[in-house]
Amino acid sequence: LPSSVAIIGAGMAGISAARQLHEAGVTVELFDKSRGTGGRMSSKRTEYGEFDIGTQYFTARHNAFCSELESWREQGWVARWQPRLCRIDEHGIHPSEDEQHRYVGSPRMTALSRGLLGGLTLHGSVRITQLDRHDQEWILTDSDGNRYGPFIQVVVATPAPQAIPLLAAAPQLARAAEQAAMEPGWAVSISFSEPVATTIDAAFVRSGPLDWICANHSKPGRAENCNWVLQSTPEWAAAHLDTPAAEVAKLLLQALGKALQTALPATRLLQAHRWLYARPAQTSDWGALAAPDIGLYACGDWCLGGRLEGAWLSGQQAAQAVLGQL
């Protein structure tokens, strides 16, 4: 169709843009190198249940996002999570409950992106490597040499480092993506053979390699009761980028025992996942980036706020910019 728009990346930003365009009557096609949706808002499936290895939870502050969140709750895609929260530092474990409302996809993180995708077209397991513009239209090429299009406009909704080559036709956008450095993170999924002897559900960790620990089963809809997720600090991940995953998993498991000051049960599952581009090193407030003269746009958490809410808002702004040119 002459008016169809391609969206590269089916994380929160890409899906947010896709939905707004679809609601405005525009034909959209999403492309993602992963099989499914969600990007960093991901769940890992194992024989011991699912683990949220990316986004842990999200908060809502902007009005537009708060009302969007209400509709997601009505659909049953997300639920409020009320963990017994702590802060852990070199002096020990400190209860740290607060009034903040926190939400998770239910019964797993990807339930949200699946719900949002609805009937939209997704080309999964397709890594776009090149964008070419001919006669005012775009042709996309993937890593196997397959071609897609033509599209009248293209929205790049990938992490900044992966956006750089795709934005080559708009040097000012490519330069912005180059500036937006992103930091790595390791995430470890653990299933213990029995519950851990602790009363806390999650903690912000302020010393050692860990940044965050969480009893995954404390989130609504997760059936297993022995599953934990650990996340490293970006600094520790940067220093252990090439450490084998099995060793990373053991090191962070040890750090969990130390943080919780308890002997841990045996593990029946212990896996580490490396996020090369976990989060923007600095938050920006660009909203979305646009080269309207050639119909090329960029959005994502690196353009706004560095959190899930920012990714959604950035996708909304990209869609508005696209609609302004149709």
Contact residues: ligand NAD, CB under 6 A: 58-59, 85, 87, 96, 98, 100, 185, 204, 231, 278-279, 306-307
Q: Answer for the pair 30, 15: CB distance below 8 angstroms, yes or no.
A: yes
Q: Which does 74 bind (CB under 5 to 8 A by kind): ligand NAD, ligand FAD, none?
A: none
Q: Which is nearer to ligand FAD, 291 or 301 (CB)?
A: 301
Our separate counts of H helices and E strands in the chain read: 8, 20
Structure tokens at 99: 């009034």
Q: How far is the CB of 188 from ligand NAD (least distance, A)?
A: 12
Q: How far is the CB of 287 from ligand NAD (least distance, A)?
A: 18
Using CB atoms within 10 A of its CB, is residue 212 exposed (0-12), middle (13-18) or buried (19+)? middle
Question: Looking only at residues 158 through 217 of this chain, which bind ligand FAD when binding is defined by CB under 6 A?
Answer: 158-159, 162, 185, 187
Q: How far is the CB of 125 from ligand FAD (least distance, A)?
A: 9
Structure tokens at 233: 């600090």
Q: Answer for the pair 295, 152: CB distance below 8 angstroms, yes or no.
A: yes
Q: Which does 100 bind (CB under 5 to 8 A by kind): ligand FAD, ligand NAD, none?
A: ligand NAD
Q: What is the dihedral of CA 235, 239, 245, 248, to 10 degrees?
A: -70
Of residues 81, 103, 275, 297, which one binds ligand FAD by CB under 6 A? Answer: 275
Q: Which does 128 bind (CB under 5 to 8 A by kind): ligand NAD, ligand FAD, none?
A: ligand FAD
Element (H, E) at 205: strand 202-205
Q: Which is nearer to ligand FAD, 32 or 68 (CB)?
A: 32
Using CB atoms within 10 A of its CB, is residue 61 exposed (0-12), middle (13-18) or buried (19+)? exposed
- Per the listing, tokens 């530092």 go with 89
Q: Is 49 left (phi over 0), alpha (psi -120 to 50) or beta?
A: left
Q: Is 128 in the site for ligand FAD (CB under 6 A)?
A: yes
Q: How many residues touch ligand FAD (CB under 6 A)? A: 36
Span from 30-38, 89-97, 169-177, 242-250 in contact with ligand FAD (CB under 6 A)? 30-38
Q: Which is nearer to ligand NAD, 60 or 155 (CB)?
A: 60
Give whole-number Cα distances, 40 to 54, 122, 189, 277, in Å: 5, 17, 15, 9
Q: How far is the CB of 9 from ligand NAD (least distance, A)?
A: 16
User: Hey, is 50 helix, strand or coil?
Assistant: strand
Q: Which does 204 bind (CB under 5 to 8 A by kind): ligand FAD, ligand NAD, none?
A: ligand NAD
Q: Is 83 in the site for ligand FAD (CB under 6 A)?
A: no
Q: How far is the CB of 121 from ligand FAD (least distance, A)?
A: 14
Cβ contacts of residue 285 below 8 Å, gap of 6+? 304, 305
Q: How far is the CB of 195 from ligand FAD (least distance, A)?
A: 23
Q: Which is nearer to ligand FAD, 208 or 305 (CB)?
A: 305
**How many whole angstroms separate alpha carbon 155 and alpha carbon 7?**
5
Q: How far is the CB of 232 from ligand NAD (least distance, A)?
A: 8
